[in-house]
Chains A and B, each alone.
Chain A
Amino acid sequence: DTAVSQTPKYLVTQMGNDKSIKCEQNLGHDTMYWYKQDSKKFLKIMFSYNNKELIINETVPNRFSPKSPDKAHLNLHINSLELGDSAVYFCASSRNRGQVTDTQYFGPGTRLTVL
């Protein structure tokens, strides 16, 4: 009964490869997010989708492409992986009603290591 799940939890790959991280939420939320946490633990928004529509794109390289097949899923595809992409990627979801209770619930994170 995990609320926000991500797969895989760990991903080790070579530079230049293409990889995907999947995210699913069973909370019935309208909005989903991707955040990146770098090696210094700094967390930054990458993308946000509301009902499958992209609403935030924070100057992320276009090698990163989010895809939302339905409002319960938001996958992150990364092309031509670079060393600097190594980080922990968090998926989150929330309602979107402009209320304080629109709390974002986070997945467990995916640690991506690019060799």
Chain B
Amino acid sequence: AQTVTQSQPEMSVQEAETVTLSCTYDTSESDYYLFWYKQPPSRQMILVIRQEAYKQQNATENRFSVNFQKAAKSFSLKISDSQLGDAAMYFCAYRSGVEYGNKLVFGAGTILRVKS
């Protein structure tokens, strides 16, 4: 079974600075997908960024980028120029191929606090 580990229960960052959230996963599959979701206090789950395992290039979405290390099974999220609105719980998630039902396996989450 696949597992996802987020080793940082909480992180803090100063506004306008950069922070990196860690995520590691365990799988025997070669083809899969990885995601970061954000959950603000409103509890809405919002997709931040996604990565296909067979793509070497790290995904980027504006201020958000990932460092995907397939051999190390690591998928960290970097947030640049942090803003107050980035404060939320961040979940790393793994998804198998369609033959496994597309289910997402989530990490335990990291609370990100942004200081002004």
Contact = CB atoms under 8 A, between A and B. Distances in A.
Interface residues of A, number: 30
Given A100-B33, A109-B43, A94 B102 contact: yes
Interface in A73-96: 88, 90, 92, 94, 96
B113 to A, nearest CB: 15
Contacts of B109: 41-43
Given A43-B106, A109-B45, 11 more contacts: A41-B108, A43-B91, A48-B101, A50-B101, A56-B101, A96-B98, A100-B52, A102-B95, A102-B102, A106-B44, A111-B43
B48 to A, nearest CB: 11
The 10 closest A-B pairs by CB, nearest first: A106-B45, A98-B98, A43-B106, A56-B101, A100-B52, A45-B103, A55-B101, A109-B43, A100-B33, A48-B101
Interface of B: 33, 35, 37, 39, 42-45, 47, 50-52, 89, 91, 95, 97-99, 101-106, 108-109
Contacts of B52: 100
Contacts, number: 63
Interface of A: 31, 33, 35, 40-45, 48, 50, 55-56, 58, 88, 90, 92, 94, 96-98, 100, 102-106, 108-109, 111
